């Protein structure tokens, strides 16, 4: 057989293992509730869109050009106004293959190895791993129960300025933070923009979870509070309609967006999802999101009940006001990378803290996604996780009112 | 306003111009015939697939894992066997966001700046521009009327070996070559594989156009003729169903494919197109492709008629046995980059040779896509192109039997 390995660049990893399906108790990844996927409305939507514009798939990007399917950009502009207070138009929105591609494009435009960026100390794992791979210096800003601390951001910016360093951006998940679930209050938003503007640093606002709030309201986006072009805003339909669709978007002023378009060399993102969402959105999106939020809140409560029952007072968490994650602090003595490894072997998948946080005690934390598993599975999985944790670390000593 | 430019890496281009729609006479790009897009069958297909598996979009990549939607991989494996003679299974196929992503992944795995690859002298423009951007040394092999010349390939491999250089791959579009339209005969295919194997060089086989032959038959793919894992094979549904769908695939042995999977960090390609094609393919693909080929051949003939009428004997070309392009040599004195520029200003878009060829006289050639414009537009556009060519270069002197 031909051996490719002599031709591979140094450090190329071995081939992946073959995929063997999802774990029984899957608390990782940004998966959503299966039942809430509005299959019938989506079927009707894609059918109408294909009936109207189907022959346009004969050309790359249909008749819409490099920004993506115009009717979906129109809906996104409308949604951004109504949900996030952003005044924009379809001409300043670039549709992407999920918000992952949005992050890649923005990083490709702005970052080179050795550059510096400011990030929330706990963060989306994908952002951290991408920045690491790019050889970028990440300066973390601590969070409290309301999100990024503005005193710490100010100190960080001042310290970097004293070193002659202008960070390339401040990456901020201000509306339903990943993984903590916090929503940054309005006064902090104004302060963040003021600090960023004073230091000439763009703000990279990631709002993938922002539609998912139990109160069905939220403060205006950072991009809504700035009219100077300081903010690059990204979002996604992954958490509201379905992650497998891979539809995200970037909203930014043309000096940035027009350069991102030039870097998007994929001949356009696939259009069928864009057509479907464009047709689905105006009639159904608002009611759908409210329904999702009710379902998600009930699943969160089921998870919290299970955590209280099986972990008791040995764990700490704040009930998030939205999103799909519970960010949980385990007792002293537990190291979550080890817990994740052992639990994974027994069919319980959890994200260990160090993948999602740069904070000093990151290995005490885990991230649990409560959106996808049925309530019964949430209960059983949390019980099983507590049992595994006890077997491995001796805690929690009491689960379900029973001393182990 | 905030000025991002001080933060941009050196050499960052200016923002793109706003898109202003397709030109009136659009002979560029891999667009296909609008009427052949099988809209009604696609509507029925996506509806059935969503009805069955729609709730699975709640998880990244549905229930199929990182290779992509299993039913489409199953159809691709079947199609590769029946059309190209490749014995493979769904487990050795990776679905991608168009074949562009396939090319990017393979390049990312194998290439680093300074590496050497062998390419057909005239070639897909996207391949040439990607390799240039990667800082890779391209060694061109000349073509004749049957495709890549094996004597030249042998000399090239020997010369490189004498310099101690092992090329990272031979990039080969052997079945309906882009832009020349040639189909490499079987004996040359065997010889190509023999040479590649003797030199330990993988073959990167791009078959995006291979289903489009007027005879509805073709020789076995290079990958079908090799059982040693030497060949990495890519293909696409862009030219048979629609380029806006962005569905491509890679077929390779696991030592390569399992590494490409690991490099595909986009959380999966969008699934809706995959679902639709998986449902559409088994019942309709074969008859659809035959219908497309008949339509395309008639459009090719319309273009050849128009070229003969308006350019007469001043141009040279070979009638391609398939595909969507006519590769046309203009008379002495014409430089096609200039022709493309002037014609573009007047609404006639053509690809100038130097974007698609490394050969010495590349600037005498243009590539014309005949698939997308209606026959009437083909006729008018070719007439207009001849008039523009005459105005700019004084040739052709006779068009439509009339001396200008």
pLDDT at B211: 98
Q: What percent of chain A has pLDDT over 90?
A: 98
> Does residue B402 carry a pLDDT above 90?
no
Q: Thinking of the domain B22-37+287-394, which architecture would CATH place it in? A: Alpha-Beta Complex (3.90)
Q: Which of A3, A51, A57, A268 to mutate to test the interface with B (most CBs of B within 10 A)?
A: A57
Query: Over 80: is that where the pLDDT of A400 sits?
Result: no
Instruction: Read off the pLDDT of each residue in A255-281 and give the average, rounded to a whole number.
Output: 97
In whole angstroms, how large is the CA radius of gyration of chain B? 22
Q: If one looks up domain A39-285 in CATH, what number appears? A: 3.40.640.10
| Mean of pLDDT values over A127-144 | 97
Write out pLDDT tens, residues A205-235. Answer: 999 999 999 999 999 999 999 999 999 999 9
Nearest to B369 by CA among B325, B316, B330: B325
- A372 interfacial to chain B (CB closer than 8 Å): yes
- Angle at which helix A98-110 crosses helix A125-133, to 10 degrees, equals 40
Tokens representing residue B349 in the block: 């878009």
Domains in chain A: boundaries: 20-37+286-403, 39-285
Residues in B closer than 8 angstroms to A262, CB to CB, are 13, 15-16
Q: What is the mean pLDDT of residues B47-70?
A: 97
Asked if A350 contacts A342 with a C-beta cutoff of 8 angstroms, the reply is: no
Is residue B402 within 8 angstroms of chain A, CB to CB?
no
pLDDT at A112: 97
Is B403 part of the contact surface with chain A (CB cutoff 8 Å)? Answer: no
CATH topology of domain A20-37+286-403: 3.90.1150
Mean pLDDT of A75-102: 98
Q: Is the dihedral of CA B38, B39, B44, B47 positive or negative?
A: positive
Label residue A399 by pLDDT band (50, 70, 90): confident
**pLDDT tens track for A153-200:** 999 999 999 999 999 999 999 999 999 999 999 999 999 999 999 999
* B190-208 tens-digit pLDDT: 999 999 999 999 999 999 9
pLDDT higher than 90, residue B346: yes
Residues 260-289 (B) with a CB less than 8 A from some CB of A: 261-262, 265-273, 276
Give A92-117 pLDDT, tens digit per residue. 999 999 999 999 999 999 999 999 99
The mean pLDDT of chain B is 97
Q: What is the pLDDT of residue A398?
A: 80
Q: Indicate yes or no: CB of B259 within 8 angstroms of CB of A229.
A: no
**Measured torsion, CA atoms of residues B137, B143, B148, B152, in degrees rounded to the nearest 10:** -70
What's the pLDDT score for residue B110?
98
Cα B181 to Cα B118, B123, B367, distances in angstroms:
19, 11, 11
Residue keyed to tokens 């019964």: A376
Summarize the confidence of residues A257-274 as an average pLDDT. Answer: 97
Does ipTM top 0.90? yes
CA B257 – CA A183 distance, rounded (Å): 42
Q: Nearest CA of chain A to the CA of B303: how many Å? A: 19
pLDDT tens digits along B82-118: 999 999 999 999 999 999 999 999 999 999 999 999 9
The band of B400, judged by pLDDT with boundaries at 50, 70 and 90, is confident
Residue A82 vs residues A86, A213, A321, B88: alpha-carbon distances, Å: 8, 15, 20, 50
A56 vs B8, B36, B244: nearest CB: B244
User: Does the pLDDT of residue B397 top 90, yes or no?
Assistant: no
How many other CB atoms are there within 10 angstroms of residue A381's CB atom? Answer: 26
Q: What percent of chain A has pLDDT over 70?
A: 100
Query: Would the pLDDT of A82 be above 90?
Result: yes
CATH topology of domain B39-284: 3.40.640
Strand runs labelled E in A40-154? 93-97, 116-120, 137-141, 143-144, 147-148
Query: CB-based contacts of B222: which residues, under 8 Å, 6+ apart?
Result: B172, B174, B189, B192, B193, B203, B205, B231, B233
Model confidence at A401, in pLDDT bands (50, 70, 90)?
confident
What is the rounded radius of gyration, in angstroms, for the C-alpha atoms of chain A? 22
**Residue of A128, A144, A147 lying closest to A136 (CA atoms):** A128
B256 with B230: CB under 8 angstroms? no
Tokens at A181, concatenated:
């679930």
């Amino acid at each position: 057989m031909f051996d490719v390995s002599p031709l591979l660049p140094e450090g190329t990893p071995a081939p992946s293992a073959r995929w063997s399906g999802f774990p029984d108790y899957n608390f990782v990844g940004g998966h959503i509730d299966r039942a809430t996927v509005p299959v019938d409305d989506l079927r009707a939507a894609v059918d109408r869109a294909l009936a109207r514009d189907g022959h346009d798939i004969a050309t790359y990007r249909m008749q819409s050009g490099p920004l993506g399917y115009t009717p979906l950009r129109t809906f996104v502009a409308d949604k951004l106004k109504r949900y996030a207070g952003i005044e924009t138009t379809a001409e300043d929105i670039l549709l992407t293959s999920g918000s992952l591609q949005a992050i890649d494009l923005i990083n490709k435009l702005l970052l080179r190895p050795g550059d510096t960026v400011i990030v929330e100390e706990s963060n989306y794992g994908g952002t951290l791993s991408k920045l690491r791979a790019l050889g970028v210096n990440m300066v973390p800003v601590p969070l409290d129960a309301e999100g990024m601390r503005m005193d710490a951001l100010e100190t960080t910016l001042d310290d970097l300025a004293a070193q002659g360093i202008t960070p390339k951006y401040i990456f901020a998940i201000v509306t339903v933070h990943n993984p903590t679930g916090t929503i940054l209050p309005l006064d902090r938003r104004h302060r963040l923009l003021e600090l960023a503007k004073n230091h000439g640093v763009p703000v990279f606002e990631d709002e993938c979870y922002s539609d998912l709030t139990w109160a069905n309201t939220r403060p205006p986006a950072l991009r809504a509070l700035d009219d100077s072009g300081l903010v690059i805003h990204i979002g996604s339909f992954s958490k509201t309609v379905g992650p497998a669709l891979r539809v995200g978007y970037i909203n930014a002023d043309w000096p940035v967006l027009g350069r991102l378009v030039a870097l998007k060399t994929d001949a356009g993102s696939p259009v069928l999802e864009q057509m479907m969402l464009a047709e689905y959105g105006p009639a159904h999106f608002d009611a759908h999101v409210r329904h999702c939020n009710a379902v998600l809140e009930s699943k969160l409560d089921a998870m919290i009940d299970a955590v209280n029952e099986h972990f008791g007072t040995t764990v700490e968490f704040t009930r998030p006001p939205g999103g799909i994650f519970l960010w949980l602090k385990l007792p002293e003595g537990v190291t979550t990378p080890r817990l994740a490894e052992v639990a994974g072997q027994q069919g319980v998948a959890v994200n260990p803290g160090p993948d999602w946080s740069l904070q000093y005690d990151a290995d005490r934390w885990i991230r649990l996604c409560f959106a996808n598993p049925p309530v019964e599975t949430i209960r059983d999985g949390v019980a099983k996780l507590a049992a595994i944790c006890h077997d491995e670390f001796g805690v929690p000593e009491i689960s379900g009112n029973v001393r182990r």
